[in-house]
Amino acid sequence: MLGTKVTDNEIDQAAKIKVSDLLAIDLWEPKNNVRVPLFHSADIRITVPTSIRECQAIFSHFSSFYQGVLVNLQAVEYIKDTIDDYEIRFIQSAFKTIIRHDDIPTYKRYMYEYQIHEPQPTRCPISMLVIDIESRAVVFLPAEDVIMIDLWDAKANYRVPRFYTRDRTYTVPLTIEMCHHVFPDFFPSDTGNLVNLDGVEHIESTPYQAYLKFENCELRAPLAQYKVRHLKKIFPLIKQ
């Protein structure tokens, strides 16, 4: 699963986690008014991209056409010059995008047209967790299917990336409930937390809080007190 690496609460670089290595999912707030899922394995944390800059780290072969838009030039069929705009058409797609002349200097337009005909890079069959904007289904989208990225208002004052393929548009998941659709076997250990119980070593309990401790790592996930009595039948309970 592809995303951006989180180190010391800072978004670092593109990274991936094997779905089979995923231990826990919770929510975090990388910036004001934006809460997104955070995915934990034993040794890495990744999140979904929330800006064009973060998308550029993941899709490093995309070109920054103009502010806030990334385009996979290998997916472009042609750039048509009209009176006021450039019309960009994509291969085997009815999708097109319009860009004003003022947004692209002439030299860049010719540079892009040259790059359209360059050999395509080696495909990378890694998927991202996304939401189909039309159907609202949460799915894994192969990164190689993305042809363009921009930003949109998923809700008021909440701008996040939008991913275009040749026939559909997707955006990033924003809630734990959306993640639970894709990982239905993960246990809701507490509000805003999902846990892969296969990776749990034991329960740690204090008078005020309980946690699920994972095997072979320092990772812990909060556990609601009323759920302790159910899970202590499965895992050892260590009181602190």
CB burial class (10 A; 0-12, 13-18, 19+) of residue 205?
A: middle
Same domain for 137 and 171?
A: yes
> Helix (H, G, I), strand (E, B), or coil: what is residue 137?
coil
- pLDDT tens, residue by residue, 71-117: 988 888 888 888 788 888 898 898 888 887 777 766 566 566 656 65
CB burial class (10 A; 0-12, 13-18, 19+) of residue 165?
A: buried
**Do residues 70 and 63 lie in contact, with contact meaning Cβ atoms separated by under 8 Å?**
yes
Provide the pLDDT for residue 94. 87
Same domain for 51 and 131?
A: yes
Instruction: Answer whether residue 230 is part of any domain.
Output: yes
The single-letter code of the amino acid at 43 is D
Average pLDDT over residues 205-212: 91
Domain count along the chain = 3
Same domain for 139 and 234?
A: no
Same domain for 71 and 171?
A: no
- pLDDT tens, residue by residue, 15-48: 999 999 999 999 988 877 778 999 999 999 999 9
pLDDT at residue 66 is higher than 80: no
Choose one of 96, 116, 136: the last residue of a domain. Answer: 116
Instruction: Answer whether residue 191 is part of any domain.
Output: no
6 vs 11, residue with greater confidence? 6
Owning domain of residue 24:
2-56+127-179
Provide the pLDDT for residue 140. 95
Same domain for 52 and 68?
A: no
How many other C-beta atoms lie within 10 A of the C-beta of residue 34?
A: 16
Same domain for 172 and 203?
A: no
